[in-house]
Amino acid sequence: MTHETIVLHGHIIDSLLLPKVLDHILQYGGSFEIAHIRIGKTREEPSDARIIVHAESPERLAEIIAAVQAHGASVEKEADCQWQEAPADGVFPDDFYVTTHLPTEVRVHGKWVPVKEIEMDLGIWLDRNDPAPHTVPMAEVRKGDQIAVGREGIRVTPLERPAHLDVFGFMGAQVSSERPHGHLITGIARRMQALRRSEARILLAGGPAIIHGGGREPLAWLIESGYIHVLFCGNALAAHDMEAHLYGTSLGLHLEGGSLAHHGHEHHLRTINRIRAIGSIEEAVRQGVITTGIMAACVRRGVKIVMAGTIRDDGPLPGVITDSVQAQAAMRATLPGVELALLVASTLHAVATGNLLPASVPTVCVDVNPAVPTKLADRGSLQAIGLVMDAASFLRELARHLGWKE
Amino acid sequence: MTHETIVLHGHIIDSLLLPKVLDHILQYGGSFEIAHIRIGKTREEPSDARIIVHAESPERLAEIIAAVQAHGASVEKEADCQWQEAPADGVFPDDFYVTTHLPTEVRVHGKWVPVKEIEMDLGIWLDRNDPAPHTVPMAEVRKGDQIAVGREGIRVTPLERPAHLDVFGFMGAQVSSERPHGHLITGIARRMQALRRSEARILLAGGPAIIHGGGREPLAWLIESGYIHVLFCGNALAAHDMEAHLYGTSLGLHLEGGSLAHHGHEHHLRTINRIRAIGSIEEAVRQGVITTGIMAACVRRGVKIVMAGTIRDDGPLPGVITDSVQAQAAMRATLPGVELALLVASTLHAVATGNLLPASVPTVCVDVNPAVPTKLADRGSLQAIGLVMDAASFLRELARHLGWKE
Amino acid sequence: MTHETIVLHGHIIDSLLLPKVLDHILQYGGSFEIAHIRIGKTREEPSDARIIVHAESPERLAEIIAAVQAHGASVEKEADCQWQEAPADGVFPDDFYVTTHLPTEVRVHGKWVPVKEIEMDLGIWLDRNDPAPHTVPMAEVRKGDQIAVGREGIRVTPLERPAHLDVFGFMGAQVSSERPHGHLITGIARRMQALRRSEARILLAGGPAIIHGGGREPLAWLIESGYIHVLFCGNALAAHDMEAHLYGTSLGLHLEGGSLAHHGHEHHLRTINRIRAIGSIEEAVRQGVITTGIMAACVRRGVKIVMAGTIRDDGPLPGVITDSVQAQAAMRATLPGVELALLVASTLHAVATGNLLPASVPTVCVDVNPAVPTKLADRGSLQAIGLVMDAASFLRELARHLGWKE
Amino acid sequence: MTHETIVLHGHIIDSLLLPKVLDHILQYGGSFEIAHIRIGKTREEPSDARIIVHAESPERLAEIIAAVQAHGASVEKEADCQWQEAPADGVFPDDFYVTTHLPTEVRVHGKWVPVKEIEMDLGIWLDRNDPAPHTVPMAEVRKGDQIAVGREGIRVTPLERPAHLDVFGFMGAQVSSERPHGHLITGIARRMQALRRSEARILLAGGPAIIHGGGREPLAWLIESGYIHVLFCGNALAAHDMEAHLYGTSLGLHLEGGSLAHHGHEHHLRTINRIRAIGSIEEAVRQGVITTGIMAACVRRGVKIVMAGTIRDDGPLPGVITDSVQAQAAMRATLPGVELALLVASTLHAVATGNLLPASVPTVCVDVNPAVPTKLADRGSLQAIGLVMDAASFLRELARHLGWKE
């Protein structure tokens, strides 16, 4: 038997940190003694606990410590963070520390320093020219870079429940199609109004079902009205949006009136071909070829668009970043300042965006398939809302709440 | 090798009858020769075909004939329908003819007579006091009743494509969340306006997700406005509808404002208990205890409600028919005159209602789970629409199209 | 501002009771002070807390108290439970106490007495002839029965994490199709072996997809081998099981060999008609008409079957309890002694059974639609497993683990 | 009113061509007269029809002709195909002909010549150095290339029902979780045995749920046994496969034994980092670092792997083609010779592969989410099977049928 003492600090009850830590110790086969606990007597006052973790082997103990550290426990004996050089371009040292999406500090020369650009599943890099460490993706590390290794001298802060309780911030909200959507959409709309006033940025990541289902007009209106500042999408959303302008169809189905247009893929492909001939979406909008819809609204309002390519794409449109590593980097570059993320009808974009966002950014995930919002709601953010509904209905209700008239 | 000659008559190309029949012959291991075919030169003119079916054994041939007859082929040698007495109450003769949901005729004394109250999976009963045969459920047959047996002297008519092409009547419409809902809902609304003018009846069968998701107001409006004439539901829809009136909640979640109310099931149960104390929903509306919502609208407008019980029910409310055979009979009794069925967010009610309706009644099936509308769209009606969206969004859009103001 | 002091006792950290209570206080708009807390230093030692809850109005305070009491908090000032007479048959007094599915005690003459037959959403009845109170469904209460009202003198015990950690008992297990099923099925199999040895009972509630998909043989084997002691199902599972014996088909599709049989519903209906003619399933097995499959195995092994009717049913088969209130009562009567519930491919039976079971019974919910296991996993039991897979694959793997050879 | 005469030839009844053509004419608002029809008297004998299509405007008529031509009708007045030069690299002429996935011929100097490398949604290119035209993706066309335009002189051949009827080749098979899987998997296994004997190639495109759910061993066995010749996947499947070898986990959950391993993403990321340090998957297998699982089996058996990158990827692994256009090209290059495609638990790969395959290649699509197989089953192939079940259960049953012993 071996043991180690861990300490918890902050809103350890409210954040569920304490029960999670005890649960993990048991699940990994350890046992615990609570050596000391002091619980804040009001909501504002933080709490403290010191817990002795027992395990049958040092390996098992290390596993437990790794697990609970990811949630915000830290090992009592404090030491500086250890660094090792990356052995090659694009390769971390063997024992590199893997980041979570929680606020993280590392101990450098006895002082705790926050890590910049927090994102999960990256390494921590200490640039010689910058006293503050920051995260670095595996593909971007360069041979010789100083990378954090091991677990000592690194700690994360569990999220606190937000002081202001609105529709965000409820604990363990079940994702279900049998829940009232009305007040959730009202709450999201209020948050968007507040963010627009405060000049914070709102991100929407969306799939082509937005267009097929009838969400094009309300989304274009939201963009024109200054409620969306960053758009993540793929080739299909952009192509069907412009197909709707040029042909009045989406996937070859007339959006109004209900009759079939001739072979659907032709419209879609001819749209892409035409924009390729013009050279860019921006130029197509400038020339007046595309004057309505989501892309036109984005160009007019200066919304930052990141279009990422996939193997499903026809064409693709000019502006689509076909390289996935470059597309990730472009998405990452737009995130600072984003304080709300709407992930609508795209599993790929929802999960990819969820991976890039720090846990502190509230997210709304909307999909008719409950598996997607369930997955996203489970990412450990206290501020995640999952809605099981179709994209168009969501966008129409949201836009109506914010003043859209059909 | 043995063979039999079958004849097809009517819109056998347009109704897909001819290719379906050929397909079945091959799938059951037979082969065919087309002895004669004459195809109508315009849409109005009917076609004829005579096909010789070959099979390796009389059993196999009988199987093929049974399969193609269910779609509308008939055996050339015509004979009167055969009848046998039911051997006991609730039991058909062994070889009883099983109905389809297509228009059906039986040959009695050399004359083809239409079968009344067509519904699938029943028997055909020739009452001595009534020259016209009609369908009878297994549970309602009485010892000694004359029941059709075998396959001779019975023929069904394949459905023709409706002359007027609106959103109903498209062939093989794929059910998908990636289709434009807007024009489908517009088309459904137009059909409802036409039916209201013509005094035909519209049926809605729905589940409690209508209430949870925010569809209570638009559905109550549709009822008040004379667009719904029959309501099939369970205990839960009625209970949550009245809970919303009494407590402002559904499943204990406040429908407005977003905060949790205390333990949800209490509201639901207290609502049921209160109505039980009053004696009936009708009386609760009359006394002014329930003044808003779906149940109040139904009582005021004289809408026929059939509430069927299930083992999930709390209470249940007075008026719930807890016996499933009686509930089926009550549903069946309301169907004459129904010319449109909206099946919303209830697998149980959607499938049960689908089983009771003749193929000629247009149906709309709405569910976030694509399995439900896919199953219903497949029931062989040419006039089925499947929408993958949540109940509340559907009802809100539909009601807006018909003039609802929030 | 008004306040009340609540006390928590037991494994309040481990059971998540403390954080849940604090969370509810905040969600209902209250605030709290922790007056005292003592946390057990080992897993075995219980903990205590005393919390002062503040709210702006007595109504709000009552709401908070109701909410936290349902999880296991109790109000400090202890008083005897209050009783009122039921005003009519089938009607509770207005303010009746609604049960949870947790162990519950009521204070009678200063002594805490456990409530028998715990089930959620019922009332508590004190029979004059029985010192121990027990739960009573709304439909079964009789005028004049003493029913618990209000909230004083009633307390529930939060569930503790089971001492023995196997696949049951993990906290907040996410339901997902992207999780390893293998070890979960292994764990379920081990639990079933242990229960068989200890003569505890195992319940399976299942839908007809078990037959259609190929789960008939492994389930029949599980029954024959003594692993299933209670079966909840509907008319369809039983009918398709016996159709498979009589015709080799399920819904008219040949289970072996892959060719279509002729019109599927005929087989299904002829099976039901034949059993109706014989009089009962038991008699059909006894006469050797049905010798293989699930029903035959149940009859031979004396497994208690409860078949509940629905409005989807054809026939129905003799033995189907068509009245839903009677069917619930029959289900309830079989539950004492059940220590594991397998809920397979039937939303209706899964939810209905979940409503009847106390929280202490481990449950496994299997469905291809993730909405069903998600809903069940959320019912507050610490011992719930959700598997997103088809019924037949689950039963085949489970039976193989227990020794089935195909 | 204007009109045009179209001709149909071949198995126009059996292939559903005739009813589809008539249906399209009506749906686009046209009308028709059947000028001549001769239907083959046996299955082998082809049929002919000449149909006069009427429409109210030349534009509407052109739309109808375009729609019916895509299914295999051709315009009676035959002319050579028209060609135009591509105006720029990556841009087709405005009126370029968009391919379908059906066999296609173009008329060059009065002679019908088949188009090579048939794939839908591409252009047709007549290389000056090659008498046979072939398809070309938009991104690969070069300025000045001769590209087919308009619709004259181009015809497609509708698929015939395969002569040999096995589980492939049934018409309009409904995708449902309520269908017997057993015989479908048996039929797929038989087809795979036949293809292995004939040295045709089998493609599997799969997602990471294969690993999480327990499908790694049977899939590795299928590869080792020579049943899979091409593998399409993403970074995640490969990473989790090798994580399973190095750590015994998938997404951090132990595949055996059921306990959690420490923070899952670490294993996954450390696996990717390690392979990046080694340089390639092939080298990792060669060095004996990876000796079990799917990747090891592929390297040992010389299976062609195409790994395509997405924005969800960590790392990615060496060998992942991060550029989506290059990845499509790599996938396309492996398709010649593929005679069966298994699309398992990956919407992205299933749809992308479906887009690349000619209609004549039988496909099997397996997913727990019915939306995916429904979408694929609808792509117009007569030989598509959709199975609603989890990936691991499918692969285990399939491998068992082919001789795998656990």
Over the stretch B97-147, which tens digit does the pLDDT of each residue have? 999 888 999 999 999 899 999 999 999 999 988 888 999 999 999 999 999
State both tokens at B125.
């009963």
Inform me whether the C-beta atom of residue C45 falls under 8 Å from chain A C-beta atoms: no
Phi and psi, residue D2, nearest 5°: -135, 165
Q: What is the number of domains present in chain B?
A: 3
Longest pairwise C-alpha distance within chain A: 74
Q: How many residues in total does chain C contain?
A: 406
Residue C179: is its pLDDT beyond 80?
no
- Please indicate, yes or no, whether residues D141 and D220 belong to a single structural domain of this protein: no
Helices vs. strands in chain C: H and E counts, helices first: 13, 20
Q: How many CB pairs under 8 A join A and C?
A: 86
Does residue D174 lie in a domain region? no
- Predicted local confidence at residue A113, as pLDDT: 94
CA distance B299 to B319: 12
pLDDT tens across C310-331, in order? 999 999 999 999 999 999 999 9
pLDDT tens across D89-141, in order? 999 999 999 998 889 999 999 999 999 999 999 999 999 888 889 999 999 99
- The least confident of B136-150, B172-186, B336-350 is B172-186
- Predicted local confidence at residue D251, as pLDDT: 63
Cβ-defined contact of A19 to C23 (cutoff 8 Å): no
- Please indicate, yes or no, whether residues A235 and A121 belong to a single structural domain of this protein: no
Q: Is the model more confident about A63 or about C180?
A: A63
Instruction: Residue C351: give its domain's CATH number.
Output: 3.40.50.10690
Cβ-defined contact of C392 to D209 (cutoff 8 Å): no
Of C117, C169, C187, nearest to C11 by C-alpha is: C169
User: Mean pLDDT, to the nearest integer, of B15-34?
Assistant: 78
- Predicted local confidence at residue C93, as pLDDT: 97
- Please indicate, yes or no, whether residues C277 and C385 belong to a single structural domain of this protein: yes
Residue B227: is its pLDDT beyond 80?
yes
Does residue A171 lie in a domain region? no
Does residue A247 lie in a domain region? yes
- Please indicate, yes or no, whether residues D110 and D258 belong to a single structural domain of this protein: no
- Predicted local confidence at residue C52, as pLDDT: 86
Residue in chain D lying closest to C216 (CA): D180
Residue A328: is its pLDDT beyond 60?
yes
ipTM here:
0.89
User: Mean pLDDT, to the nearest integer, of B203-207?
Assistant: 97
Inform me whether the C-beta atom of residue A208 falls under 8 Å from chain B C-beta atoms: yes
DSSP annotation of A230 reads E
- Please indicate, yes or no, whether residues D269 and D289 belong to a single structural domain of this protein: yes
The share of chain C scoring above pLDDT 70, in percent, equals: 88
The share of chain A scoring above pLDDT 90, in percent, equals: 55
pLDDT confidence bin for D326, thresholds 50/70/90: very high
* Dihedral (Cα; C311, C312, C317, C321), 10-degree rounding: -40
User: Mean pLDDT, to the nearest integer, of C372-382?
Assistant: 68
pLDDT tens across A175-192, in order? 555 666 788 898 899 999
Alpha helices in A7-100 (DSSP H): 17-27, 58-69
Cβ-defined contact of D209 to C177 (cutoff 8 Å): yes
Whether the CB-CB separation of C51 and C74 falls below 8 Å is answered with no
CA distance C19 to C31: 13
Q: Which of residues 141-170 of D touch B (CB under 8 A)?
A: 161, 165, 170
> For residue D182, what are the CA distances in angstroms to B120, D40, D371, D387, D393?
28, 36, 21, 11, 11
The 3-state DSSP class for residue C55 equals strand
Residue B219: is its pLDDT beyond 60?
yes
Question: Which of A26, A34, A39 is opposite residue C41, by nearest beta carbon?
Answer: A34
pLDDT confidence bin for D223, thresholds 50/70/90: very high
Query: What's the gap in Å between the CA of D324 and the closest CA on chain C?
Result: 25
- Which region holds residue A43: left if phi is over 0, alpha if psi is between -120 and 50, else beta? alpha
Mean pLDDT rounded to a whole number for chain B: 87
Of D36, D65, D42, nearest to D53 by C-alpha is: D65
Does residue A169 lie in a domain region? no
- Predicted local confidence at residue A151, as pLDDT: 84
- Predicted local confidence at residue C43, as pLDDT: 65
Does residue C10 lie in a domain region? yes
- Predicted local confidence at residue B381, as pLDDT: 57
- The least confident of B205-214, C2-11, C209-218, D164-173 is D164-173
- Please indicate, yes or no, whether residues D223 and D359 belong to a single structural domain of this protein: yes
Mean pLDDT rounded to a whole number for chain D: 87
- Predicted local confidence at residue A262, as pLDDT: 45
- Predicted local confidence at residue D262, as pLDDT: 45
pLDDT tens across D167-180, in order? 776 544 455 556 66
pLDDT confidence bin for D254, thresholds 50/70/90: low
Of C71-85, C124-138, D270-284, the range with the highest mean pLDDT is: D270-284
Q: Is the model more confident about C34 or about D244?
A: D244
CA distance C200 to C189: 14
| DSSP string covering A95-125 | TBPPP-SS-EEEEETTEEEEPBS--TT-EEE
Query: What's the gap in Å between the CA of B390 and the closest CA on chain A?
Result: 5
| DSSP string covering B258-325 | -PBPS-HHHHHHHHHHHHHHH--HHHHHHTTS--SSHHHHHHHHT-EEEEE--TT-SS--TTEE-BHH
Q: Which residue range forms the structural domain that includes residue B116?
A: 79-160
pLDDT confidence bin for A342, thresholds 50/70/90: very high
- Please indicate, yes or no, whether residues D86 and D66 belong to a single structural domain of this protein: no
- Please indicate, yes or no, whether residues B372 and B389 belong to a single structural domain of this protein: yes
Query: What's the gap in Å between the CA of A154 and the closest CA on chain B?
Result: 38
pLDDT tens across B254-294, in order? 555 544 444 556 888 999 999 999 999 999 999 999 999 99
Instruction: Residue D47: give its domain's CATH number.
Output: 3.30.70.2690
Instruction: Residue A128: give its domain's CATH number.
Output: 2.40.420.10
- Please indicate, yes or no, whether residues C248 and C127 belong to a single structural domain of this protein: no
User: Mean pLDDT, to the nearest integer, of D35-49?
Assistant: 75
- Predicted local confidence at residue B262, as pLDDT: 45
Of A323, A283, A291, nearest to A307 by C-alpha is: A323
Last residue of a domain, one of D42, D77, D112: D77
Q: Which of residues 321-350 of A touch D (CB under 8 A)?
A: 322-328, 331, 347-349
pLDDT tens across B68-100, in order? 888 888 887 778 999 999 999 999 999 999 998
- Predicted local confidence at residue C265, as pLDDT: 67
Inform me whether the C-beta atom of residue D174 falls under 8 Å from chain A C-beta atoms: no
pLDDT confidence bin for D198, thresholds 50/70/90: very high
Instruction: Identify the helix (H) or strand (E) that includes residue A329.
Output: helix A324-334
How many Cα atoms are found within 13 Å in the side-chain-facing hemisphere of D398? 34
The share of chain B scoring above pLDDT 70, in percent, equals: 88
Does residue C250 lie in a domain region? yes
- The least confident of B50-59, B139-148, D217-226, D336-345 is B50-59
Residues of D within 8 A of C234 (CB-CB) are none
CA distance D22 to D64: 10
CA distance D70 to B114: 42
Last residue of a domain, one of A44, A77, A110: A77
Inform me whether the C-beta atom of residue B27 falls under 8 Å from chain D C-beta atoms: yes
pLDDT confidence bin for C258, thresholds 50/70/90: very low
- Predicted local confidence at residue C177, as pLDDT: 55
- Predicted local confidence at residue B388, as pLDDT: 87
| DSSP string covering A332-367 | HHH-TTEEEEEEES-HHHHHHHHHHS-TTS-EEEE-
pLDDT tens across A18-68, in order? 877 887 787 777 887 777 777 776 667 778 888 888 888 888 888 888 888
Residues of C within 8 A of A26 (CB-CB) are 43, 161, 165
State both tokens at D369.
């989410």
Which chains share 3+ C-beta pairs under 8 angstroms with C? A, B, D
Last residue of a domain, one of B160, B192, B212: B160
Inform me whether the C-beta atom of residue D278 falls under 8 Å from chain A C-beta atoms: no
- Predicted local confidence at residue B379, as pLDDT: 60
CA distance B14 to D326: 45
pLDDT tens across C184-238, in order? 898 899 999 999 999 899 999 999 999 988 899 999 999 999 999 999 999 999 9
Inform me whether the C-beta atom of residue D370 falls under 8 Å from chain B C-beta atoms: yes
Torsion sign, CA atoms D160, D166, D167, D173: positive
Q: Which of residues 237-276 of A touch D (CB under 8 A)?
A: 259-263, 265-266, 269-270, 272-274, 276
- Predicted local confidence at residue D41, as pLDDT: 67
pLDDT tens across A382-399, in order? 577 888 889 999 999 999
Residues of B within 8 A of A168 (CB-CB) are none
- Please indicate, yes or no, whether residues D258 and D123 belong to a single structural domain of this protein: no
Does residue A223 lie in a domain region? yes
Residue C60: is its pLDDT beyond 80?
yes
Residues of C within 8 A of A41 (CB-CB) are 33-35
Q: Is the model more confident about B26 or about C345?
A: C345
- Please indicate, yes or no, whether residues D105 and D212 belong to a single structural domain of this protein: no
Inform me whether the C-beta atom of residue D45 falls under 8 Å from chain B C-beta atoms: no
pLDDT confidence bin for B152, thresholds 50/70/90: confident
pLDDT confidence bin for A225, thresholds 50/70/90: very high
Cβ-defined contact of C138 to B314 (cutoff 8 Å): yes
Residue A259: is its pLDDT beyond 90?
no
- Please indicate, yes or no, whether residues A213 and A354 belong to a single structural domain of this protein: yes
Q: Is the pTM of this model over 0.80?
A: yes
